[in-house]
């Protein structure tokens, strides 16, 4: 079975998409290759993102904030949009040959630890559903 290339997109690639990439690396390495990017990337992953994920024993040490341009002409099988922006295959070239999925996850940036935990809870469940769906479709 071929691994699916998945790109998680949020606004700054500092919180939500980083969490999703971390969960996907931890839970779905047998079915997907996760990446993340931001529409308007920040310069770093938010400290509360790292703390929230570390509390779940998920390291983001090898991840860094980046924009869609970091992937050039690379294509993905699945692009998951958590940016809150209306994206289309046309304005996200990485999604051109794949599927574009919308996940409604409130951006916790600027909030406290409780809101980060709530976002992580939701993202974790969405990633687990994706991983289980991919396992079902590829076995």
Q: Which structural domains are found in the chain, ordered by start?
A: 4-138 (3.40.50.2300)
Residue 72 pLDDT > 90: no
| 98-135 residue pLDDT tens | 788 999 999 999 999 999 999 999 999 999 999 999 99
Model pLDDT, residue 139: 42
Residue 50 pLDDT > 90: yes
Section 35-48 average pLDDT: 94
In whole angstroms, give the CA distance from residue 100 to residue 36: 14
Chain mean pLDDT for the chain:
91
Q: How confident is the model at residue 138 (pLDDT cuts 50, 70, 90)?
A: low
Q: b vs e for 75-85, b when ≥16 Cβ sit within 10 Å of the residue's Cβ?
A: ebbbbbbbbee
Q: Structure pTM?
A: 0.92
* C-alpha of 68 from chain center: 12
Residue 1 pLDDT > 90: no
């Amino acid at each position: 079975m071929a691994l699916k290339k998945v790109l998680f997109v949020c606004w700054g690639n500092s919180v939500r998409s980083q969490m999703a990439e971390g969960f996907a690396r931890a839970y779905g390495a047998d079915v997907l290759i996760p990446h993340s990017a931001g529409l308007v990337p920040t310069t770093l992953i938010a400290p509360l993102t790292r703390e929230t994920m570390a509390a779940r024993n998920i390291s983001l040490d090898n991840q860094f904030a980046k924009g869609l341009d970091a992937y050039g002409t690379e294509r993905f099988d699945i692009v998951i949009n958590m940016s809150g922006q209306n994206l289309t295959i046309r304005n996200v070239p990485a999604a051109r040959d794949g599927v574009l999925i919308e996940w409604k996850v409130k951006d916790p940036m600027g909030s406290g630890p409780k809101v980060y935990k709530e976002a992580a809870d939701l993202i974790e469940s969405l990633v687990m559903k994706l991983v289980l769906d991919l396992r079902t479709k590829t076995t």
